[in-house]
Structure 1
């Protein structure tokens, strides 16, 4: 089954905001076996919206129109869609009474145009908005279906999951389930990763593997079609094991997770603490850790020692170490890791020093990074990275932070 997504909004046309709604809806539809073959973006002009709807209906049977259901003069989506369908607007009286009560409860003054938020396409049905004011519309005539939804992402996503998907499933009885599983990798080049995975799955035509480069990691999505969730899950797990046998390096988990979240979880399980001393990353490792709810159970504090003098003052590193080996060195990274761990009294200390670019430092090119991992009761470990200088300063910093966390993750997994 094919569909088209029409997104309405001058701010999207001008590039002021990202079209996250279309991406979210396309992904949800894909899981139901529906392909968003066309995606159209239009401004708020009524004639442009009307034309977009008419063009979409000439191509597909199912059309989604997203955004522009507010009470202001530039919110023309509903009336323009009605014009394209040759229908008019109806009022959901029950919802209109609820809106008026909401304004009363909030002690806010209403305007006449607020009534449009209770309107839907006549001949169709209104869709409940569980977290906002504007209802949506579900309109069907013969084989054609048009769905109109509000634009605020929080409202849009709730309505897609609670109102739209159950109705879509009724349109495609007997449709096989499309299921997927996301595997996460850090520190493995995409070309190398997918060459290995594709070779491992050469005889597996039932599962498709695709890669998506995300900030600081690569996601590998495994997709399959099956008659039941149980069948799909079994097939995906078998494929996952095949991939891990071929490419265990760099893997840190499945699903909706982050590397920092996995590290914090493992530390919590063992009642262990971590700290860090950062130079080129400027506190990014610590920020990633603290972004995880409950991080205070494993992280008490850390250091940002950007200048060489602060490495000595805050961490107690001997000036001779930096003078002899340089700021960007195995010895300095190890000393930073040891120094922060001992100062805080943590079980693990991470040290990061390197060249984020674009200029060289101490004769080292951009992308040269040293990581240190200090482990209570064990020898300190260091690792040298040679990251792509062309990826830019921020990418180098993020990849350095992720790979430092990966060093700790790999140790905790042993």
Structure 2
């Protein structure tokens, strides 16, 4: 199979990730729930993963790296933990439902008011509208690092500058970019960074988390056992336990730790350059196919390795099915949990087919996808 659905999850991972998970399944105990050798093995891998994650994102406080089961839980933890009645929030049309739905729920409950930095028909955010959206009650600006539909990268420095200039916090959803693009949390002034482990980080599913600056307190979303201060009836105030109720996914986090070690040695810059070259090769290859439309700006250096397209004469789901069944190429069709971006691009009814590349994607994979699209286009043309 040619796997071009890395924006959903990576299935091709460094061998060390699989080895670490298998070793943990065979011998890791429960983190912070005992003093046996197996428990210490679990605790050590979780602690190492915190340190490596903090290093990867340029964050000086590894104890403020909190692990969850995915980015959705991390975003819910951040948003429900920091927002209060009367707060105003600014977000963007780029967002995934893991940002939109928590914010919509807070809005429906009458807790927050919500505004959007809109995207234009070419898939660019209208950043000139940002300043006019702020109010005295603006508590947070929440934005993805890159669109999961077009791969367009947001102007994080400008969003942070504007948020802090108005006394608001900045929350970054780095689900699409962590491991694929460099990010400096301390350097940029990001207040909360949420991530998942199973996409560009190339770790296991069921891993994710958030990094929270020391001067921001979050109310816990989940309450329960932490393995420390068990006589206290409330969640311990210390981090990371304050936001980590329940048994940790030590097996998954062992794999994430191995993935982080691999990426730190490899260098995220190499991944970014690799993805950019593949994106350029793909776009150049499909640009001459009759009836094919690529959505969004084509400036490769401002994008992750993601391309969304449609082909005249076939709906997106049928195109993805043909790619899978006839050419053994995995993509993703539909709305990609990004309804506002599809609305901006005019594809809300039709959807699109997304191709997303990763570290293990090759030029041969790209060429095979180009051939398949050209072949299908010719077939559709002959059928007219």
- Structure 1 and Structure 2 fold alike (TM over 0.5): no
Greater RCO (Cα-Cα under 8 Å, separation 6 or more): 2
Q: Which has the higher strand share?
A: 1
Q: Report the TM-score, using the length of structure 2 for normalisation.
A: 0.28
Larger Rg: 1
